[in-house]
């Protein structure tokens, strides 16, 4: 009797495990995805003042957003910054990854944490510090860097660097040195061995590193906040400045374009490199 | 199996010339050249600016000149002396802690389900649904919450037309809106930290516990969760740090009256142009975040051993 009662209690709590877990999972994804879904939906609304339900649907706001110079300029600046930051972070990050992947040596931990530090120091603190630093440099040397494209480029290269270093080091560590040695033993020249053996194996990590670097730069808000100036403003900052005054379907269209670009970039990255491994 | 591993290792070291003195020196000098560009970038772009910021925080503020003059603790005295700023610090801590707690409660089931889903397609889809928002940037998501939470937003419209309320409930521009917005921003970080840990633990331990008679909840709380403690801790830490430093969410959906630390740094540096005080707020923010992170990691290490 007692046994059957405990087992029935057990059965009811056991029965609640899966539904509770799945329910929590659904709630979590609703929280995460609802704002994105909402903004995409609103970008197609016909009425300029957002109200639910909409009076109808239109694509006009996309045309309106494309015609507004601040969004166009912000988009182009963010795109250029993303490319520059990705290139710089690859040029300085790949050599660093080659060293870090060699394995243990004294000071490795310190160097690694230094190179990943831009990811750990809060954006707002790092941005304020870089801004003050660049102004002091300007006062001392007369060269203006803050509030120019190149000031932003420094900040964005720093944002991108940890991603390239991390992902490329990870793919190099997974590499078996014997494969390249085998190619060399069988008579391949070093460059041929690299091109035919090493490169195909590390390519996923390099591509993922570059794409993550680009995305991290493209969406950055906090670090850029201090460094933007007249004529050089990034898209996320244009969006925030606009949102401080009003929210309408035009800004929703701009946000939707950003969502589309980043989603497409990540879906492509996932084919090369399982995204879950990047974190 | 172990014999194989040993032979493999033997051929690896045996195949190469033993690293002599000159060889090692050459390697370390190339290492220096290879590391030089990246370390220069981090030093010039982050470490030196932070050092200058520390110096700025103990300078005397003079509205007339941007030069750094004097050594004084007056900025810190002002921050810790004025209830206004202490309230902002306390509010930031409260928001960060509650967001972290809620993210943990929602993130555990989400990460657990992702790690135990059998269909590969569904798993990939869920991971993409986590990582795409994670890398989306905060501005876009804040815009989404503005649409959802406004007086004429989707939630109020739905509640009104369902007859559950007679006039709109004020959600946007309140503390709850900031907490909701931040949870949406931070949850993907929590899910991704926990998912990899649950994945690594595998389901063998749960199954063993259940075979020996533990009901699923007991197996989960007494076996799986303790094993996942390092991941839970790093996920919480990440959420906490990001929430402490949040800028876009409090500015856009908290409104002007709900003030937090990061927006204050910006205000003092750019709008008031009081750099010493901006530097002080930034460093207090960083120090409090760091101190709490270290303290909690020490406390957990005592409880659970090395993390």
Alpha-carbon span A122 to B219, nearest angstrom: 38
Considering only CB atoms, which chain B residues are within 8 Å of A85? Answer: none
The chain A residue lying nearest B141, using CA atoms, is A35
Q: Could you tell me which residues are beta bridge partners of residue B60? A: B69
Smallest Cα distance from A200 to chain B, Å? 22
Give me the helix-helix angle, A2-42 and B175-201, nearest 10°: 120
Q: Whole-angstrom Cα distance, residue A41 to residue A55? A: 13
Which positions in chain B touch A16 (Cβ < 8 Å)? 217
Asked if A121 lies within 8 A of B106 by C-beta distance, the reply is no
Which residues on A lie below 8 Å from B133 (Cβ)? 32-33, 36
Give per-residue pLDDT as tens, A116-172: 888 888 889 999 999 999 988 888 888 888 788 988 999 999 999 998 998 888 888
pLDDT level of residue A6 (50, 70, 90 thresholds): very low
What is the ipTM score, two decimals? 0.83
Q: How far is CA A14 from the centre of its chain?
A: 40
Cβ neighbours of B41 in A, within 8 Å: 88, 92, 154, 157-158, 161
A268 reaches B (C-beta below 8 A): no
Distance CA B182, CA B240 (A): 10
Domains of chain A, residue spans: 62-278
pLDDT at A271 over 80: no
**What tens digit of pLDDT does each residue of B282-307 get?**
999 999 988 888 888 888 777 766 55
Residue A260 structure tokens: 């589309």
* Fold annotation for B83-304: MetI-like fold (1.10.3720)
Between CA B293 and CA B199 the distance in angstroms is 25
Q: What is the dihedral of CA B177, B178, B181, B184, to 10 degrees?
A: -120
Query: What is the Cα A85 distance to its own chain's centre?
Result: 12
The band of B92, judged by pLDDT with boundaries at 50, 70 and 90, is very high
pLDDT(A55) > 60: yes
CA-based nearest distance A11→chain B, Å: 8
Nearest-CA distance A206 → chain B (Å): 17
Contact map slice: A 138-167 vs B, CB within 8 A = 139, 154-155, 157-158, 161, 165
pLDDT on residue B20: 44
Q: How many residues does chain A have?
A: 279
**Cβ within 8 Å, pair A25-B109:** yes
- Cα-Cα-Cα-Cα torsion B37, B39, B44, B46, nearest 10 degrees, comes to 140
Residue ranges of the alpha helices (H) in chain B? 2-14, 21-42, 48-57, 74-81, 83-116, 120-134, 138-149, 154-161, 175-201, 204-211, 216-219, 225-227, 229-244, 248-249, 261-266, 275-304
Residue bearing the bigger pLDDT, B29 or B58: B58
Q: Which residue among B15, B52, B140 sits closest to A129, beta carbon to beta carbon?
A: B52
Q: What one-character DSSP code corresponds to residue B150?
A: S
Q: What is the pLDDT of residues A218-254, one digit of tens each?
A: 888 888 988 888 878 999 999 988 888 888 888 999 9
Contact A202, A171 (CB under 8 A): yes
Residue B160 structure tokens: 């009104």
A190 touches chain B (CB under 8 A): no
Residue B14's CB is within 10 A of a number of other CB atoms, namely 9
The candidate with the shortest Cα–Cα distance to A71, out of A263, A265, A240, A225, is A240
Count of residues in chain B:
307
Contact residues, chain A, for B141 at CB < 8 Å: 35-36
Give the CATH number of domain A62-278; options: 3.40.190.150, 1.10.3720.10, 1.10.10.410, 1.20.1560.10.
1.10.3720.10
C-alpha of A23 from chain center? 29
For tokens 């995204």, what's the residue? Answer: A275
Residue A37: its chain B contacts at CB < 8 A?
Answer: 144
Q: For residue B242, what is the nearest residue in chain A, using CA coordinates?
A: A122
How would residue B5 be classed by pLDDT, with cut points 50, 70 and 90?
Answer: very low
Task: Tell me whether residues B147 and A247 touch, CB distance under 8 A.
Answer: yes
Per-residue pLDDT, B302: 76
């Amino acid at each position: 009797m007692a046994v059957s009662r405990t087992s029935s209690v057990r059965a009811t709590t056991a029965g609640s495990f899966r539904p509770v877990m799945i329910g929590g999972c659904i709630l979590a994804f609703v929280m995460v995805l609802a704002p994105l879904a909402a903004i995409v939906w609103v970008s197609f609304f016909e009425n300029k003042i957002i109200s639910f339900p909409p009076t109808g649907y239109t694509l006009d706001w996309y045309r309106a957003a494309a015609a507004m110079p601040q969004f166009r300029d912000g988009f182009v600046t963010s795109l250029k910054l993303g490319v520059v930051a990705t290139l710089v972070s690859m040029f300085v990050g790949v050599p660093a990854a080659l060293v870090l992947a060699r394995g243990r040596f004294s000071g490795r931990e310190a160097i690694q944490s230094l190179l990943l530090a831009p990811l750990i120091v809060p954006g707002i603190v790092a941005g304020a510090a870089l801004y003050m630093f660049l102004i002091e440099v300007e006062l001392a040397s007369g060269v203006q860097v803050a509030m120019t494209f190149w000031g932003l480029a420094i900040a964005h290269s720093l944002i991108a660097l940890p991603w390239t270093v991390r992902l490329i080091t990870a793919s190099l560590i997974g590499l078996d040195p014997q494969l390249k040695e085998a190619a060399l033993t069988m008579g391949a020249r070093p460059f041929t061995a690299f091109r035919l053996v090493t490169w195909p194996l590390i390519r996923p990590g390099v591509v993922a590193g570059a794409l993550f670097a680009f995305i991290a730069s493209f969406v950055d808000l906090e670090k850029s906040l201090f460094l933007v100036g007249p004529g050089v403003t990034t898209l996320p900052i244009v969006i925030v400045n606009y949102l401080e005054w009003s929210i309408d379907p035009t800004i929703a269209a701009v946000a939707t374009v950003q969502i589309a670009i980043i989603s497409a970039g990540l879906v492509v990255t996932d084919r090369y490199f399982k995204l879950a491994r990047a974190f | 199996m172990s014999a194989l591993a040993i032979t493999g290792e033997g051929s690896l070291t045996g195949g190469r010339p033993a690293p002599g003195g000159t060889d090692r020196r050459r390697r370390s000098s190339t290492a220096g050249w290879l590391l030089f560009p990246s370390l220069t970038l981090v030093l010039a772009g982050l470490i030196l600016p932070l050092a200058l910021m520390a110096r700025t925080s103990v300078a005397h503020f003079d509205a007339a000149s941007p030069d750094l003059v004097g050594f004084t603790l007056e900025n810190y005295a002002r921050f810790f002396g004025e209830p206004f700023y202490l309230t902002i610090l306390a509010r930031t801590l409260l928001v960060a802690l509650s967001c972290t707690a809620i993210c943990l409660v929602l993130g555990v089931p989400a990460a657990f389900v992702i790690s135990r889903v059998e269909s590969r397609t569904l798993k990939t889809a869920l991971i993409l649904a986590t990582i795409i928002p994670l890398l989306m940037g905060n501005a876009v998501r804040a815009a989404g919450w503005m649409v959802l939470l406004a007086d004429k937003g989707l939630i109020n419209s739905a509640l009104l037309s369902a007859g559950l309320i007679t006039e709109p409930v004020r959600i946007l521009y309140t503390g709850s809106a900031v907490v909701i917005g931040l949870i949406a921003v931070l949850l993907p970080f929590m899910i991704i930290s926990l998912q990899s840990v649950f994945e690594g633990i595998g389901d063998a331990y749960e199954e063993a516990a259940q075979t020996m008679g533990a009901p699923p909840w007991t197996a989960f709380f007494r076996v799986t969760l303790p094993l996942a403690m390092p991941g839970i801790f790093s996920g919480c830490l990440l959420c906490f740090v990001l929430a402490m430093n949040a800028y876009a969410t409090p500015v856009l959906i908290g409104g002007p009256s709900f003030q937090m630390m990061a927006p204050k740094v910006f205000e003092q540096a750019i709008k008031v142009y009081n750099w010493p005080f901006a530097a002080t707020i930034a460093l207090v923010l960083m120090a409090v975040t760091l101190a709490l992170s270290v303290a909690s990691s020490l406390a957990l290490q005592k409880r659970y051993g090395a993390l």
